Amino acid sequence: MEKAFKIILNVILFFLIATGLLVVFSFIDIPGNYKIFTVQSGSMEPAIHTGSLIFVKPLADYSVGDIVTKKTDDPKMTVTHRIVSKEEVDGQVAFETKGDANDSSDGEKFGKDMIIGKKFLTIPFLGYVVSYAKTQMGIILIIIIPAVIIIYDEFNKIVAEIKKIRQKKLDEKGKIRFE
């Protein structure tokens, strides 16, 4: 039972640490680095579900049919939709996007400079965890719970080692040990 408990704790710790590393790495501003976003609406259903974690990577060129994340007028908000048209306007390439679940396109044409990247991976529902991890309570839980688990496990190991050392000293003094 104790072994199964440790395995479960180690798996949980691994996923928490991996998620944390992915999120931290995505914030590092390296040209060509992937970015991670949480899907906040159902506009791309059924291709991408609300609450999914989406990984995007900038490319040299984008095509009709690509699912891309683009900037909006609000610097804190992005939109992930499918490219439905690509044409040249005044010597520049212009894109138009549409959510799969939407009846009409987004209604604006924009340049490649507005595209953050193309979707290359989607993990359903993990976006809820990442969004929660960005809150104050989420940070506390993601740091405190694993830390308490690690400290508890290490404390138990230290206590067991101290007991072994004490028993060894008692045995060396000539006391009889019954098991």
Secondary element (H or E) of residue 78: strand 78-89
Query: Considering Cα of 131, then 124, then 107, then 65, what sign does the dihedral take?
Result: positive
Task: Name the residue type at position 86.
Answer: K
Tell me the β-bridge partners of 118: 57, 68
- The angle, 0 to 180 degrees and rounded to 10, between the axes of the packed helices 126-133 and 136-172 is 90
- The residues carrying an active-site annotation are 43, 81, 106
Burial of 144 (0-12, 13-18, 19+ CB in 10 A): exposed
Burial of 113 (0-12, 13-18, 19+ CB in 10 A): exposed
Contact 34, 57 (CB under 8 A): yes
